[in-house]
């Protein structure tokens, strides 16, 4: 069985765990800080699912979040419109004093070039900085 290359990016946010967890558990807020990936707001698509513009996926994509905010567990799912959801993108929150550490794990998909992988990691770093600013300003 083959494994994928992964990278876990982290950011420490000086804000209450509950506030950051509530934000991550609400997919409608993600385009406000995940501006490197999403190109516009979410639109409800029923059953906790949303449609959102994602240029890297060729246009509109389906999006959902399965969350246990009390435990800081968030699994994000993406699919092309009409396609099946892929494996979860795991996001975890760890209490850190009065703040929180956000751990975001990305997997390098088969066929992804080195340039695409590095660009994806750089974009995620920017989005985590946006999330940090969102909660500490």
Q: Residue 76: its pLDDT value, please?
A: 97
CA distance 104 to 126: 12
CA distance 72 to 80: 27
Query: What is the token pair recorded at 117?
Result: 């992988």
For β-strands 6-13 and 73-80, DSSP reports them as unpaired
Q: Residue 109: its pLDDT value, please?
A: 85
* Of 64, 60, 24, 62, the residue nearest 39 (C-alpha): 60
Q: Residue 1: its pLDDT value, please?
A: 63
The domains of the chain are located at 6-136
Q: Using 50 as the pLDDT threshold, list the residues of the chain that sit under it.
A: none
Q: Residue 57: its pLDDT value, please?
A: 85
Q: Residue 110: its pLDDT value, please?
A: 87
CATH 3.20.20.80 fits 6-136, yes or no: no
């Amino acid at each position: 069985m083959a494994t994928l290359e992964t990278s876990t990016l982290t950011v420490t946010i000086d804000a209450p765990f509950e506030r950051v967890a509530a934000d991550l558990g609400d997919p409608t807020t993600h385009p406000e800080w995940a501006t490197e990936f999403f190109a516009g707001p979410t639109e409800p698509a029923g059953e906790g699912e949303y449609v959102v513009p994602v240029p890297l996926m060729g246009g509109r994509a389906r999006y959902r979040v399965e969350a246990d905010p009390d435990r800081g567990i968030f699994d994000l799912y993406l699919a092309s419109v009409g396609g099946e959801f892929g494996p979860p993108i795991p996001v975890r929150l760890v209490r850190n004093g009065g703040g929180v550490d956000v751990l975001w794990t990305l997997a390098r998909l088969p066929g992804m070039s080195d340039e695409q992988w590095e660009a994806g990691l750089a974009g995620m770093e920017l989005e985590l900085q946006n999330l940090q600013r969102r909660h500490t300003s």
